[in-house]
Structure 1
Amino acid sequence: MASERDARRRAYLDKAAAEVDALEARGVIMGGNAFSTVLLAKGVLSEGEKSGEAPFSGADGTALKASLKALGYAPEEWEWLLTIDADGEPLAPELLAEAICALDPATLVCCDDAAASALRDAYADDLVLIDALEEAMLAPGAVARVRGMRVINLGGFSDALADPHEKQVMWARLKKIPPLGEPF
């Protein structure tokens, strides 16, 4: 019984690894825990990230991880995805949607307006079906339900870190997406 369960687990891991590898081969840049419930998306790189630092390894990543932990998410409960390729060009909407589907998050956080714009393109057919205009437009702070995910656009998280008032605005937005299951 245990070996059958182990074989199933191995098959799930192999499938996920193959999907991630195939997406990366097509130009998708992502990292973190591919099995997490939270996906952080960004479309604008910091100067450090443009110089070779890993995405979300700077102040924005530190602040987001601390915020998620304060909300009750497990410390390893996040994955990140760039909505741009290595040349800084936006991912094709179909490729972005495929990447998000492969990662299967319960909550998708757009950290900047460029990521939200890319999501609008990738999920245009779904967003037009949402009655609330703010949600359909992925307006900063609105929480939309798209293909079973909660989606929130923080609207410039990195830039907000320099302003105490804007940091509070970001914190208020993040509090709208507490963990869906048991608290950590």
Structure 2
Amino acid sequence: MASEREARRRACLDKAAAEVDGLVARGVVMGGNAFSAVLLVKGELAEGETGGEGAFSGADGTALRASLAKLGYAPEDWEWLLSVDAGGEPLDAGLLREAVCALDPATVIACDEAAASALREAYADELAALDALEEAMLVPGALARVLGMRVMNLGGFAAALGDPHEKQVMWARLKRLPPLGEPI
């Protein structure tokens, strides 16, 4: 019984690794814990950041990790995905959608307008079916439900860090995304 369970677990891990490896081979840049509930999507790299492991190594990454921890997420419970390839070119909408699907997050957070725009294109049909225009357009701060995922566009998280008022706006938006199972 235990060996059968271990075999299923290993098969699941192998499948996930093969999916991620296939996406990386096609130009997708991602990192973090691939089994996380939260996916941070970024399309604009800050000065000094690289497309690899450095994508969330700046002040915005530090602030996002601290915010998620303050909301009650485990320190390792997040993953990230760039909406651009290693050369800075936008990912094809189908490829971005495939990457999000492979990572299977419960919550998707667009950290900047480039990421939100890419998500709008990748999920155009699903967003168009939403009743609320703010949700359908992924207006910054609106919380949309798309294919069972919570999706929010923060509206320029990195740029907001230099302004105390805008930092509070970002915090208010993030507070709307507590770990699932917790009161909202």
Residue 17 of structure 1 corresponds to: 17
Distance 1:13 1:111, change over 3 A: same
Identify the residue that residue 92 of structure 1 maps to in structure 2. 92
Q: How many residues align?
A: 183
Task: Pick closer, same or farther for the CA change 1:43–1:129 going to 2, 3 Å.
Answer: same
Among the aligned pairs, what percent are the same residue? 77
Task: Read off the aligned partner of 2:129 and give its amino acid letter.
Answer: L
The alpha carbon displacement at 1:181 in A equals 2.9
* Partner SS for 1:55: helix
Q: CA deviation at 1:53?
A: 6.3
Provide closer, same or farther for how the CA distance between residues 51 and 81 of structure 1 changes in structure 2, counting only shifts above 3 A: closer
RMSD: 1.4
Structure 2 residue 29 is matched with structure 1 residue 38: no
Give, in whole Å, the separation in 2 of the partners of 1:16 and 1:48. Answer: 31
In structure 1, the gaps of 5 or more residues are none
Give the aligned partner of residue 112 of structure 1: 112
Q: Is contact 2:69–2:75 with CA below 8 Å preserved after alignment?
A: yes
Letter in 1 for 2:141: G
Do the aligned partners of 2:51 and 2:86 also contact (CA within 8 Å) in 1? no
Report the Cα distance in structure 1 between the residues aligned to 2:105 and 2:51, rounded to whole angstroms.
29
Contact persistence 2:138–2:144 (CA under 8 A): yes
Structure 2 residue runs of 5 or longer lacking an equivalent are none
CA gap 1:130/1:177 in 2 versus in 1, 3 angstroms: same
Partner of 1:172: 172
Normalised to the residue count of structure 2, the TM-score between the two structures is 0.97
Opposite residue 32 of structure 1, the aligned amino acid is: G
SS of 2:116's partner is: helix
1:154-181 Cα distance to aligned partner (Å, 9 max, x none): 0000000111110000000000111003
Distance 2:120 2:52 in 1: 28
Q: 1:176 to 1:182 in 2, by over 3 A?
A: closer
Cα distance in 1 for partners of 2:182, 2:110 equals 24
Give the letter aligned to residue 82 of structure 1.
L
Equivalent positions of 1:35-184 (< 5 A) are 35-50=35-50, 54-181=54-181
